[in-house]
Structure 1
Amino acid sequence: MNKVLTFIPILVLLSCGATQTTIIENGKEAKGHLKNGLKNGTWTFYKAGKVDAVGTFVKDQKNGDWSYFYDNGKLHQKGEFRNGKQNGIWQYYFDNGSFMGMGELVDGKQNGVWKWYHKNGNLYTERWYVDGKLMEIKSCFDSRKNVLDCGTISNGNGTMLFHDIENESDTIQEFQYKNGVIKNE
């Protein structure tokens, strides 16, 4: 009889906690816990049956460490959310697993120096941001460490030349900036 009475409170406590939930929305599956109808704790998101993202929710807002993955399972990016916004140092990776770049986000906006790299590990560019606005291109190199022309942005104004480092091609796109943001065409 004592065993039965001890077992009942444990069942009651377990039934009051979060429940494992699977949600399928727009062909994407998500697994995690709901507490009072809100996402709480670690959630895993799937795309075509493969892990797409893993992260933590607190009362339905992204909070804590998050990782996003390529279709091949390799890490694409990782960083932290606070109150639903990206904060802290975020790191990015190529689909082959090599390091692509990193920088700081404050309330979802780029701040400070961001560094991007070629697949061979050599520095591609350093860019300086303030409150999400590109203020200056500090340096730019090709994969063999030769200086590249990446534009003339100063104090948020000028031209940025974007080189396709992910595919190591000679493709260049040109963007005009005014006050740190791309001008509309």
Structure 2
Amino acid sequence: MRKFVILAGLMISGLVQAQALEPQFEVIGNRVQITYFYDNGRVQQQGFYKDGKLDGAWTSYDEQGNKLAVGTYAQGQKVGEWSFWSGSQLSRVRYTDNQIAYVSKN
């Protein structure tokens, strides 16, 4: 009986893992928007790919749906100003040539 309970537990945990949410893809113009999800169904990240590289706006969220990061990629490199949240603190980071050029904290 004990072996049966252990085997049943392993099978159930395998089924739960197999039902993890898969990323969603949507073609928009000449780019592909991809959305990744947490196990709770909330969006984890959303952004665009073009020619196999990150391209365009990207947003990351925590498991409660709060924004963690917002920024832009161009041909796979971070560009411009990105915003990062840690609790109530906001940091802004400016990227030049995929390198941090400036950081400000509020």
What is the TM-score with the length of structure 2 in the denominator? 0.72
Taking every aligned residue pair, what percent have the same amino acid on both sides? 25
1:94-152 per-position Cα deviation (integer Å, ceiling 9, x unaligned): 11111112011011110010001234xx4420001112111111x114xxxxxxxxxxx
Aligned residues of 1:52 and 1:70 also touching (Cα < 8 A): no
Q: Equivalent residue for 2:94?
A: 128
Unaligned runs of 5+ in 2: 1-16
Q: Which residue number corresponds to residue 110 of structure 1?
A: 78
Q: Letter of the aligned partner of 2:19 in structure 1?
A: G
Match of 2:22 among 45, 52, 60: 52
Q: SS of the residue aligned with 2:94?
A: strand
Structure-1 separation of matches of 2:95 and 2:85: 17
2: distance between equivalents of 1:123 and 1:115? 10
Structure exhibiting the larger radius of gyration computed from Cα positions: 1
Contact 1:80–1:86 (8 Å) recurs in 2: yes
CA RMSD between the two structures:
1.8
More helix by share: 2
Shift of residue 55, structure 1, vs aligned partner: 1.3
- Displacement after TM superposition at 1:56 (Å): 4.4
d(CA) in 2 for partners of 1:130 and 1:68?
27
Q: Which residue is equivalent to 2:13?
A: none
State how 1:129-168 maps to structure 2 within 5 Å.
129-137=95-103, 139-141=104-106
Q: CA deviation at 1:67?
A: 0.3
Which fold has the larger relative contact order, with Cα–Cα distance below 8 Å and residues 6 or more apart in sequence? 2
Instruction: Find the aligned partners of 1:111 and 1:123 in 2 and give their Cα distance.
Output: 22
- How much does 1:48 deviate? 3.1
CA distance in 2, matches of 1:76, 1:89: 14
1:69 and 1:114 map into 2 onto residues whose CA distance is 21
